[in-house]
Amino acid sequence: MKEIALLNYSGGSSRILHVSRDELLPSEAALSVFDGNTAQLFADRDPERSLALPPGESAKNWASVERIINRALAVSMGRDGLIAGIGGGVVTDVTAFAASIYMRGCRLILVPTTLLSMVDAATGGKTGFDFGGVKNLVGSFYTAEEVRICPCMLETLPEREYLSGMAEVLKHAMLTPGPGAGGLLDIVASEKDAILARDAQTLERLIPAAVKVKVDIVSKDLREQGIRAFLNLGHTFGHALEAATNFSRWSHGEAVAWGILRSLDLGVRIGLTDKDWADETRHLIADYGFDIVTPQVAPGEIKAAMVDDKKKKDGRLRFVLMKGPGEPVLQEVPEVDLDAVLGIE
Ligand SMILES: NC(=O)c1ccc[n+]([C@@H]2O[C@H](COP(=O)([O-])OP(=O)(O)OC[C@H]3O[C@@H](n4cnc5c(N)ncnc54)[C@H](O)[C@@H]3O)[C@@H](O)[C@H]2O)c1
């Protein structure tokens, strides 16, 4: 096991580890939570102490939390017992939530198996499930003692899921200084072919660099009272696109990439974003195959979803915009500029 990063937060710390395939599952007795797909990848799992949820977002619900808690009870797990969540962001979010409430909080290890969960969902302590048609309505902050990452898990990941994670990697890259700083931005800009081919050695550098961007931000602001909001770059637009298309037309990554492009448009339009850098970044995102020309939904519906979402939060139309590489700002924007970027006459 090799340490990728240590997430330090008030109240504790979480170790992010690069492990080999056979170090992924906990060696001690634990309740291991998979989904139907990730369970198939671990023939060596203990059937007595494992549970497979149905794959996909529809399992991110209270019924799954209840199943995990019931099984923990059935195997007489105490408060010092360990729950492991092995899967994509759905499994890691819902398992971490169950661990956060079982006996007021038991031990937790996360084993992310999608690119998105490796670089994003499994790190940073946000847990939860969807409720009443609202994504992540119920949740808690509860940080895993370890996050075990093996890029080898990505070999079986479907292409669209892999690319969905790449959108978050690109987002993290934009939050780093560069180009030329030898960091994540340089890796994504110069090693696209190897990344898209999932070259093992390239992934062993890409994933830790992407994880570190998140860890550095979250270590300073676990509960999103300030800079953690920068990680939402592209998400206000992207989430509205997903909501307006019933979370079925576009993958999360496709929607986020579209959202990042709209954030760049908005920043350039209000004179905040460096235009040359915005153009370079647009090309980089398109090079990775993200290029939604028509979102296949009326711009007014995207705006309505965005306003609805904002009303549920603080009611203000604020966006994460970029001045240049590594320079995010959170800013309110005039509605007329938002309309122009969305293509509303
Ligand atoms: N907690 C956070 O900070 C945070 C951050 C970002 C996203 N999320 C959440 O993450 C979720 C999305 O996560 P996701 O994109 O990983 O989706 P997911 O968990 O639904 O996984 C995608 C699909 O890939 C399959 N899969 C997983 N690993 C595989 C592997 N190695 N080989 C083959 N198939 C595999 C899964 O069974 C599933 O069908 C959303 O619910 C989102 O809200 C949470």
Which atom of ligand 1 is nearest to 252's Cα? 15
Q: pLDDT band for position 181 (50/70/90)?
A: confident
On whether both 270 and 132 belong to a single domain, the answer is: no
Is the pLDDT at 312 greater than 90? The verdict is no
| Strand order, beta sheet including 12-18 | 2-9, 12-18, 146-149, 107-112, 82-87, 31-35, 50-53
Separation of alpha carbons 79 and 82, rounded Å: 8
Same domain, 294 and 257: yes
Residues 166 and 202 placed together within one structural domain of the fold: yes
Domain enclosing residue 305, as ranges: 159-342
Residue 45 φ/ψ, nearest 5 degrees: -70, 155
- 120 close to ligand 1 (CB < 6 Angstrom): yes
Burial (CB count within 10 angstroms: exposed 0-12, middle 13-18, buried 19+), residue 337? middle
Q: Is 253 in the pocket of ligand 1 (CB under 6 A)?
A: no
Q: Where does a domain end: 156, 188, 221?
A: 156
Average pLDDT over residues 157-176: 97
3-state secondary structure of 110: strand
pLDDT at 310 over 90: no
Q: How does DSSP assign 52-107, residue by residue?
A: EEPSSGGG-SHHHHHHHHHHHHHTT--TT-EEEEEESHHHHHHHHHHHHHGGG--E
CB 93 within 8 A of CB 121: yes
Query: How much is the mean pLDDT over the chain?
Result: 95
Domain final residue, candidates 139, 156, 173? 156
Does ligand 1 lie within 6 Å of residue 88's CB atom? yes
For atom 7 of ligand 1, the residue with the nearest CA is 121
Separation of 274 CA from ligand 1 center, angstroms?
A: 33
Under the phi-then-psi rule, with left for phi > 0, alpha for psi from -120 to 50, and beta for the rest, what region is 29? Answer: beta
The answer to whether 104 and 78 are in contact (CB under 8 A) is no
Cα of 115 to ligand 1 centre, how many Å? 8
CATH classification of the domain holding 113: 3.40.50.1970
What length is written for the chain?
345
Taking only Cα atoms into account, the Rg of the chain, rounded to an integer number of angstroms, comes to: 20
Is the domain of 67 the same as that of 204?
A: no
Distance 281 CA to ligand 1 centre (A): 26
The verdict on the CB of residue 126 being under 6 Å from ligand 1 is yes
Q: Are residues 150 and 207 in the same domain?
A: no
Give residue 156's identity as a one-letter amino acid code. Answer: T
Question: Per residue in 241-294, pLDDT tens?
Answer: 999 998 889 999 999 999 999 999 999 999 999 999 999 999 999 999 997 778
Task: Say yes or no: 172 and 111 in one domain.
Answer: no
Per residue, the 3-state secondary structure of 279-293, as one string, reads HHHHHHHHHCCCCCC
Is 200 found in the same domain as 126? Answer: no
What whole-number distance in Å separates Cα of residue 167 and Cα of residue 162? 9
The CA dihedral of 216, 235, 328, 171, to the nearest 10 degrees, is: 60
How, if at all, do strands 50-53 and 31-35 pair? parallel
Which of 89, 121, 156 lies at the terminal end of a domain, its last residue?
156
156 CA closest ligand 1 atom index: 32
Nearest CA to ligand 1 atom 35: 157
In sequence order, the β-bridge partners of residue 322 are 328
Does the Cβ of 57 fall within 6 Å of ligand 1?
A: yes
Is the domain of 143 the same as that of 212? Answer: no
Spatial CB neighbours of 138, under 8 Å, sequence gap ≥ 6: 62, 97, 128, 129, 131
Å from CA of 340 to ligand 1 middle: 33
Distance between alpha carbon 222 and the CA centroid of its chain, in Å?
15
**Which of 116, 207, 215, 230 has most ligand 1 atoms within 8 Å of its beta carbon, as the pocket-test mutant?**
116
Residue 87 CA, ligand 1 centroid: distance in Å: 7
- Tell whether 194 and 151 lie within a shared domain: no
Give the distance, in angstroms, between the CA of residue 307 and the centroid of all CA atoms in the same chain.
Answer: 23
Token pair of 271 as six digits: 């004179």
pLDDT digit string, tens, across residues 108-165: 999 999 999 999 999 999 999 999 988 899 999 999 999 999 999 999 999 999 999 9
Same domain, yes or no: 184 and 129? no
- Give pLDDT, residue 52: 98
* Model pTM score: 0.97
- Evaluate: CB of 153 within 6 angstroms of ligand 1: yes
User: Do strands 318-322 and 146-149 pair parallel, antiparallel, or not at all (unpaired)?
Assistant: unpaired
Distance of CA 256 from the midpoint of ligand 1 (Å): 15
111 lines ligand 1 (CB under 6 A): no
- Mean pLDDT over 288-312 rounds to 87
Q: Does any ligand 1 atom lie closer than 6 A to the CB of residue 113?
A: yes
**CA 173/CA 236 separation, integer angstroms:** 18
CATH of the domain at 314: 1.20.1090.10
Q: What does the alpha-carbon distance between residue 267 and residue 331 come to, in Å, rounded to a whole number?
A: 10
Q: Is the CB of 56 under 6 A from ligand 1?
A: yes
pLDDT for 317 beyond 90: no
Residues 225 and 319 in one domain: yes
Task: Give the DSSP letter string of 291-302.
Answer: --S--SS-HHHH
Rounded to the nearest angstrom, the distance between the alpha carbon of 337 and the centre of ligand 1 is 34
For residues 114 and 30, state if they share a domain: yes
CB 249 within 8 A of CB 296: yes
- Which residue, among 116, 95, 120, has the nearest Cα to 33 in the 3D structure? 95
Distance 335 CA to ligand 1 centre (A): 34
Residue pair 290/258 in contact (Cβ under 8 Å)? The answer is: yes
Domain count, the chain: 2
The distance from CA 15 to its chain's CA centroid, rounded to whole angstroms, is 18
